[in-house]
Structure 1
């Protein structure tokens, strides 16, 4: 149970830090090899690019979990105080619908890549692994949005993003 609680609070940030750190180390090693040793690595930029793609999609889920996605707080002030909580939840539901749509459409791309069997040029990685980043990231975002919506329903006065889930 403690592991699940820890994963719930730290999964995205842990993976993001690991990806960012590894990506930075690979790129630093590439710069060292190119400018100091005079020999470029054929795989480093491709690996760093794929890590960055995964980092982006995992960070979307992290932003959802932290309730920090871009929205128009100034426009929220245009609504009467009694409706603001509902408007915020409506925005969360719309983001949830968008996340589900991305999961569905990106899964179709992954299925196509599985069928085609395409691999990356430098390291020979199956491209379905790269193309699955939006599917995994937005599936996790969907889960986080469900948590956010449940939190906002349980805590109707916490619409300002001040509290953690």
Structure 2
């Protein structure tokens, strides 16, 4: 899991930074050089979408998703455990749905040969992030279920492995 964490972080950062670099180039090109780069918007959007979708998985992994805990804070320990398990199961089902739907979108776009307007990039490659994110979410939801039943945190498990 440590390797997966590092890969997720690295890929998200690379996509984000590359997207920002393309955006800055487009702004510089338009306002300083006086030329418009229509392809830049397409690339910038794709890079940021990929970074954000991978960010969904890293946010789940690190418990950084926004939560509404007005009811949760008022629950007893047993009800909190039940709520956590139900949430994890629903998340796991959602991630499977994202994989399934994403694969269907990728296959349909691949079969139709659709390409982006400015760059001519195959659109199925843009859609590929959906099943990838679904797989990452699934892995993290299953890991959270595992840790929940084992009564540990990922950090605790890593500390135990090092000894």
> Scaled by the length of structure 1, what TM-score is found?
0.86
Alpha-carbon RMSD across the aligned residues, in angstroms, is 2.3
> Scaled by the length of structure 2, what TM-score is found?
0.87
Asked whether 1:92 is paired with 2:95, we answer no
**Partner residue of 1:71?**
67
**Partner residue of 1:101?**
97
Asked whether 1:80 is paired with 2:60, we answer no
Unpaired segments of 5 or more residues in structure 2? 159-163
Aligned residues: 158
- Deviation string 1:1-27 (CA, Å, 9 cap, x unpaired) is xxx63x223222211111111111111
Distance in 2 between residues matched to 1:94 and 1:164, nearest whole Å:
25
Asked whether 1:47 is paired with 2:43, we answer yes
Q: In proportion to residue count, which structure has more helix?
A: 2
Unpaired segments of 5 or more residues in structure 1? none
Partner SS state of residue 82, structure 1: helix
Distance in 2 between residues matched to 1:40 and 1:61, nearest whole Å:
35
Distance in 1 between residues matched to 2:4 and 2:109, nearest whole Å:
30
Higher relative contact order by CA 8 Å / sep ≥ 6: 1 or 2?
1
Q: Is the 8 A contact 1:60 1:138 kept in 2?
A: no
